[in-house]
Amino acid sequence: MTAIAIDDEPVALSVIQAHAAKVPFMELKGVFTNAFEAMDFLRREKVDLLFLDIKMPDISGLDFLSSLHEPPMTIFTTAYSEHAVQSFELDAIDYLLKPFSLARFLKACNKAHSLMQLKQERLQNPVQADYIFIKSGYEQLKIQLHDVLYIESAGNYVNFVLPDKKLLSRLSMQEAMALVPASRFTRVHRSYIVANEKVDRIDRSCVYIRQAVIPIGAAYGEAVSRIAGEE
């Protein structure tokens, strides 16, 4: 699993480098104190994971992540807790509060690694079942895929929206997308995944499912076109 780290504080980057050296499945390909230099790097090379500070002088980590067309999995590393909800709305894998221990760093890395493996497994072995199980509270709930209208982000949770109810589960959008078959579900926005067969109408800016009006993100136009069989 390849990664880079961005933080305007060299000491913070040194901590990440020291911790990353102890993670056997990680290759830290670069560290950056300048976010725009990191942006140039990401235009040239793809990485699996991004460690990203939030409060930086030239651009915030939140704005930086929002600007990326196809962002890698992201773990925020920050001294401030007040941006946690916003970070998960941007599909962050985890949110590390400085100073963080090696154990906490490893937990976040393992989460990212497991998600990457799940994505690869789904590509090699597409989901064939007509149902999934999700954890909701203390229960494992069975959901019939044909009942799902769409999936929406809710902070560091997602809602599986069914015709008569919503089921809340502590998942990121990336984790939710890895659970469902890519042949039947399409991500149309950072905050929305739709069931292709439930889509009633599509225009330039929105997808319509029953009474729901779901925005189309700028980076997802090509994926939305495939719902209607347009390439």
116 lies in the same domain as 15: yes
51 lies in the same domain as 26: yes
CATH classification of the domain holding 217: 2.40.50.1020
The phi, psi pair for 119, rounded to 5°, reads -60, -45
Number of domains forming the structure of the chain: 2
Once rounded to an integer, what is the mean pLDDT over residues 174-187? Answer: 89
Look at residue 69 in the predicted model and tell me its pLDDT. Answer: 79
The candidate with the shortest Cα–Cα distance to 228, out of 208, 211, 210, 31, is 208
Whole-angstrom distance, CA of residue 95 vs CA of residue 105 = 10
Domain that holds residue 26: 2-124
Contact status, residue 214 vs residue 202, Cβ threshold 8 Å: no
Q: Which amino acid is at 160?
A: F
6 pLDDT higher than 60: yes
92 lies in the same domain as 199: no
Q: Of 38-42, 178-182, 210-214, which range is least confident? A: 178-182
Three-state DSSP state, 121: helix
153 lies in the same domain as 180: yes
Please report, rounded to a whole number, the percentage of residues in the chain having pLDDT higher than 70: 96
Once rounded to an integer, what is the mean pLDDT over residues 167-181? Answer: 89
**178 or 207: which carries more pLDDT confidence?**
207
Q: Give how far the C-alpha of residue 117 lies from the chain's centroid of Cα atoms, to the nearest Å.
A: 14
Whole-angstrom distance, CA of residue 126 vs CA of residue 210 = 28
Q: Which amino acid is at 113?
A: H
- 50-98 tens-digit pLDDT: 999 999 998 999 999 988 878 899 999 999 888 777 787 788 889 999 9
Categorise residue 13: left if φ over 0, alpha if ψ from -120 to 50, beta otherwise: alpha
153 lies in the same domain as 222: yes
86 lies in the same domain as 166: no
Look at residue 33 in the predicted model and tell me its pLDDT. Answer: 96
Whole-angstrom distance, CA of residue 104 vs CA of residue 108 = 6
Q: Which of 103, 124, 145 corresponds to the end of one domain?
A: 124
Q: Give how far the C-alpha of residue 137 lies from the chain's centroid of Cα atoms, to the nearest Å.
A: 21
230 pLDDT higher than 60: no
Contact status, residue 38 vs residue 15, Cβ threshold 8 Å: no
- 133-160 tens-digit pLDDT: 998 888 899 999 999 999 999 878 899 9
214 pLDDT higher than 70: yes
pLDDT-based confidence at residue 126 (cuts at 50, 70, 90):
low
Once rounded to an integer, what is the mean pLDDT over residues 192-203? Answer: 95
The candidate with the shortest Cα–Cα distance to 82, out of 104, 62, 52, is 62
183 lies in the same domain as 100: no
Once rounded to an integer, what is the mean pLDDT over residues 9-29? Answer: 96
147 lies in the same domain as 184: yes
69 lies in the same domain as 137: no
Whole-angstrom distance, CA of residue 213 vs CA of residue 190 = 15
Whole-angstrom distance, CA of residue 116 vs CA of residue 113 = 5
Please report, rounded to a whole number, the percentage of residues in the chain having pLDDT higher than 90: 65
Q: Which of 124, 141, 156 corresponds to the end of one domain?
A: 124
CATH classification of the domain holding 92: 3.40.50.2300
Look at residue 83 in the predicted model and tell me its pLDDT. Answer: 77
Average pLDDT, the chain: 90
139 lies in the same domain as 71: no
Please tell me whether the overall predicted TM-score, pTM, comes out greater than 0.75 for this model.
Answer: no
Q: Which of 124, 144, 174 corresponds to the end of one domain?
A: 124
pLDDT-based confidence at residue 117 (cuts at 50, 70, 90):
confident
The candidate with the shortest Cα–Cα distance to 4, out of 41, 43, 36, 56, is 41
Look at residue 151 in the predicted model and tell me its pLDDT. Answer: 97
How many residues are recorded in the chain? 231
146 lies in the same domain as 55: no
15 lies in the same domain as 114: yes
